[in-house]
Amino acid sequence: MNLQLRPAIVSFIAISVLTGVAYPLLVTGLGKAIFPRQAGGSLIRKGGQVIGSEWIAQSFTSPRDFWSRPSATVDANNKPLPYNGANSGGSNLAPSNPDLAKAVTERIAALQAADPETRDPVPVDLVTASGSGLDPHISPASAAYQVRRVAKARGLDEAKVRDLVSAHIEPPQFGVLGEARVNVLKLNLALDGLGSK
Amino acid sequence: MSHAWSQNLLYLALLLSLAFPLGTYMAKVLEGGRTFLHPVLGSLEQGLYRLMGIREDEDMGWKAYAWSITLIKLLGLAAVFLLMKTQAALPLNPEHQANVATGLSINTAVSFITNTNWQAYSGETTLSYLTQMLGLTVQNFLSAATGIAVLVALIRGITRRNATGLGNAWVDLVRSTLYILLPMSFVFALFLVSQGVIQNLSAYIHTAGGQVLAMGPAASQVAIKMLGTNGGGFFGANAAHPFENSSPLSNFVQILSILLIPAALCVTFGHMVKDRRQGWALLAAMTLIFVGALTVCTHAEVKGNPALSPLGVTQVASRVAGQEQPGGNMEGKELRFGPGGSALWATATTAASNGSVNAMHDSFTPLGGLVPMWLMQLGEVVFGGVGSGLYGMLMFALVGVFIGGLMVGRTPEYLGKKVEAFEMKMASIAILLPCAAVLIGAAISVLVANAAASVSNPGPHGFSQILYAWSSASNNNGSAFGGLSVNTPFYNYGLALAMLLGRFGVIWPVLALSGSLVKKKHTPEGLGTLPTHTPLFVGVLVGVVLLVGALTFIPALALGPIAEHLALR
């Protein structure tokens, strides 16, 4: 039987060069030329320094800021390190796992401790860990839930903060794709721009 | 009401309408016709044949065809393994990723040559850019191209009469790569970059605040990972990672790209057997099962997790201006996709052999997680993998005409070819081998103490994690209930074996069957022939698929997701 070695080796090398070298390098070159910002990670700079990416959530824990969705990412030794942009992942907790209910209870308690007057039910996205641990968005309802706390901590008018949130709501694309959302990093940066009393 | 349902409808409409032009185009390519890309790529194609020392019209028997496919896979296995074992010393490794351990390297190499893309590692902490490009991206192309090649060989077995040759494996591989996969990936990758998916060779970025952002050539790999139903993520979180799937639009188009080629291949099939209705019937059967599965999964995820309701959270979707929220089961999901965009992805990725995820399936509701698990267990014939989905469905079609033939007492035939004992044996092996691998693998894991210890969730869900892993590997899917710790010798080698069985244990019987069909003469349609383009046959086909899946797996599913569902309140 003809062993087919020559066509196997030649086609393997040729397809490797085409799809493993030429194709990714061409996309890299063209991507950089046509969409330089996106190809490089949609970075946000302030005073010449990179302070983050538009697409990657950051840790906000002060009552003065809007908080991101919880993150279950870990460090190299598997210890919790939320919002680790170099090791994405979710909690993988089952809906029936008591640890999930416990984590959600603790997160609700933390939100209420930061804003003791509120007793409204918390929108579910604000107390559940995202799939990547890097979800840059919260729902408009979750932003609204935090308006009073943020306004109070910054000494701002609630209405002013609410208007800022409204201006940052992105609707579902074309009306049906995905969900309405608010980018937390962009919102907090705009908030810093407002100053405080 | 959640957006989910209108998004689902739009998805089905677009998928089915795009399948027709693409299917027609692919038929032209695979039959060697000239396309609009030939002026650009035609001389490259001919040059490759000269270098390889083959003639375009050189036919192969089924054994030579199967051997050629196996041989190029073995070369891929060696290449990926060597890249992983030596990446520390090779270029394009700005993060100085170390060489990878042997068990994990073998598991990963097997995983990518079999179109599984099971990942016991996290891309951004383990692999160099060179390994991702030259190792994994190449296999993404090749494993999809082999899927198409095997399908075309099977179609030739059906259409050719009194012959022995099934076509030339090398020509089929080159044509699928050059005229179908490469141009589509190229355009798709650039679209993804425009949406925010990254594509660069930079070192990781350290922000002023101390956050580290992983970088890399993601878009080029994501494009073929989706189109080729491979599914292996560039990053650990796969398509949940915003750098891999940034916007609702990129999400929607990526889900479309999972099922696009598999759906279009049904149309291609109709063209190649010169009876388009035959392709439509297969497409209709697939669509019916898909719609049922999608409805259950979407409903379960939109409804949310009953265990969280008493804690003071609201899981009800709202579209009130300024108070919008997706609600539903949001643990492990991304806000921009919501439960709807995540359920649609989960259904599509397991209907096909894709296995990428945009949400963590481990955190799905019990019924929401049952759907992807069962779709894999059905053998991924609902659209299925590129090529492999349709050749898998054709095995079920043969079983369908066989059962129909038994009922009326005639020798069954499919598209003019008599289906006899040998064909039934091969079809049964191709259908039952992966099923056996799932159940035996899961049973052993439960019995072996250190394999059972990999479970991360208590109760029935722990069993679901194990069952899901074996369903995924044996059917070359690659998605996971990710809490299961699988980077252990038991799972690395055990699942690698299941992946090989699930790929080659199907490809070889399919090609043997095709080699037997191709020799047969054409049997003209008679009164006793069961027509295979009618709604009646679509019903028979759906029935056979569901029956085999139900009889084989309901007992196991009852111990996992069904038990969890009944206990969860």
Nearest to B193 among A21, A38, A133 (CB): A38
Average pLDDT rounded to a whole number, residues B540-546: 97
- Evaluate if residue B4 carries a pLDDT over 90: no
A-chain residue closest to B330, CA distance: A125
B387: pLDDT strictly greater than 60: yes
Q: State how far the Cα of A32 lies from the Cα of B84, in Å rounded to an integer.
A: 28
CA B471, chain centre distance (Å): 12
B236–A89 CB contact, under 8 Å:
yes
Residues of chain B neighbouring A18 (CB-CB closer than 8 A): 177, 182
Is B71 in Cβ contact with A19 (below 8 Å)? no
Pair B141, B186: CB distance under 8 Å: no
**Residues whose CB falls within 8 Å of the CB of residue A135, separated by 6 or more in sequence, listed in order:** A57, A68, A69, A71, B242, B334, B335, B336
Candidates A75, A87, A125: best to mutate against B (most CBs of B within 10 A) is: A125
Q: Which of A5, A6, A21, A23 is best to mutate for the B interface (most B CBs within 10 A)?
A: A23
B54 lies within 8 A of chain A by CB:
yes
The closest CB to that of A52, out of B141, B198, B207, belongs to B207
Check if B202 contacts A (Cβ < 8 Å).
yes
Give residue A138's region: left, alpha or beta (phi > 0; psi -120 to 50): beta
The pLDDT of residue A197 is above 70: no
CB < 8 Å to B297, chain A: none
Q: How much is the pLDDT for A196? A: 59
CB pair distance less than 8 Å for A177 and B252: yes
Q: Which residue has the tokens 């089905």?
A: B12
Structure tokens at A178: 């995905």
Q: How far apart are CA B517 and CA B527, in angstroms?
A: 22
pLDDT attached to residue B398: 97
CB burial of B370-405 (b: ≥16 within 10 Å; e: otherwise) equals bbbbbbbbbbbbbbbbbbbbbbbbbbbbbbbbbebb
CA distance A120 to chain B (A): 8
Inter-chain touch A56–B213, beta carbons under 8 Å: yes
User: Does the pLDDT at position B224 exceed 80?
Assistant: yes
Chain A contact for B483, CB < 8 A?
yes
Query: What was the pLDDT predicted at A2?
Result: 64
SS3 content of chain A, % helix, strand, coil (to 5): 45, 10, 45
Report the complex ipTM: 0.96
pLDDT reported for residue B169: 97
Question: How many CB atoms lie under 10 A from the CB of residue A106?
Answer: 12
Position B529 scores a pLDDT of 86
Question: How many Cβ atoms from other residues are within 10 Å of residue A76's Cβ?
Answer: 10
Q: Per-residue pLDDT averaged across B85-106, rounded?
A: 97
Determine contact: A172 vs chain B, CB below 8 A: yes
Is the pLDDT at A156 greater than 60, yes or no? Answer: yes
Task: Evaluate if pTM is beyond 0.95.
Answer: yes
pLDDT category of residue A70 using cuts at 50, 70 and 90: very high
Does residue B1 carry a pLDDT above 60?
no
Q: Strand, coil or helix: what is B460?
A: helix
> Average of pLDDT values for B189-210?
97
CB contact under 8 A, A96 and B307: yes
Summarize pLDDT for B142-171 with one digit per residue, the tens. Answer: 999 999 999 999 999 999 999 999 999 999
CA within 13 Å, CB half, A139: 34
Per-residue pLDDT at B526: 83
Are B335 and A90 a contacting pair at CB < 8 A?
no
Residue found by looking up tokens 């072996």 in the block: B448
**Domain limits of chain A?**
1-40, 42-194
Measured in angstroms, the CA of A134 and the nearest CA of chain B are apart by 7
- In tens, the pLDDT along B324-364 reads 999 999 999 999 999 999 999 999 999 999 999 999 999 99
C-alpha B466/C-alpha B469 separation (Å) is: 5
Q: Residues of A with CB below 8 A from B122's CB?
A: 87-89
A176: alpha, beta or left? (left if phi > 0; alpha if psi -120 to 50): alpha
Judge: B208–A121 Cβ closer than 8 Å, yes or no.
Answer: no
Nearest residue of chain B to residue A4 (CA atoms): B68
Nearest to B393 by CA among B227, B509, B541, B552: B541
Name the average pLDDT for chain B.
96
Residue B448 has a CB neighbour count (10 Å cut-off) of 13
pLDDT at B2 over 70: no
**What is the arithmetic mean of pLDDT over B100-109?**
96
Residue A110 contacts B where some CB pair is shorter than 8 Å: no
Question: How many angstroms separate the CA atoms of B160 and B238, rounded?
Answer: 42
The 10s digit of each residue's pLDDT in B305-329 is: 999 999 999 999 999 999 999 999 9
Structural contact between residues A108 and B312, judged by C-beta atoms closer than 8 angstroms: yes
Residue B137 is nearest to which of A19, A58, A86, comparing CB atoms?
A19
> CB-based contacts of B479: which residues, under 8 Å, 6+ apart?
B231, B346, B349, B350, B354, B355, B356, B357, B361, B372, B376, B468, B472
**Cα gap B480→B495, rounded to integer Å:** 12
| pLDDT > 70: percent of chain A | 98
Kindly list the residues from chain A whose CB atom is less than 8 angstroms away from the CB atom of residue B466.
Answer: none
pLDDT, tens digit, for every residue of B445-496?
999 989 999 999 999 999 999 999 999 999 999 999 999 999 999 999 999 9
Interface test with A, best of B126, B191, B215, B330 (most A CBs within 10 A): B330
Query: Can you count the helices (H) and strands (E) in chain B?
Result: 21, 5
Q: Does B471 touch chain A (CB under 8 A)?
A: no
* B410 confidence band (pLDDT: 50, 70, 90): confident
CB A196 within 8 A of CB A154: yes
Would you state the pLDDT for residue B527? 80
Amino acid found at B238: N
Nearest CB among A8, A90, A133 relative to B68 is that of A8
A-chain residues near B469 (CB < 8 A): none
Q: Looking at beta carbons, which residues of chain B come within 8 Å of A45? A: none
**E strand or H helix that includes residue B367:** helix B366-377
Listing DSSP states for B53-102 in one string gives T--TT----HHHHHHHHHHHHHHHHHHHHHHHHHGGGSSS-TT-PPPPPH
Instruction: Tell which A residues from 16 to 35 touch B, by Cβ distance under 8 Å.
Output: 16, 18-21, 23-24, 26-28, 30-32, 34-35
Q: What is the pLDDT of residues B231-267, one digit of tens each?
A: 999 999 999 999 999 999 999 999 999 999 999 999 9
Strands B205-206, B212-213: pairing is: antiparallel
Q: How would residue A3 be classed by pLDDT, with cut points 50, 70 and 90?
A: confident
Q: Which long-range contacts (CB under 8 A, 24 or more apart) does B449-455 make?
A: B450/B488, B450/B490, B451/B488, B451/B490, B451/B491, B451/B494, B454/B484, B454/B485, B454/B486, B454/B488, B454/B490, B454/B491, B455/B483, B455/B484
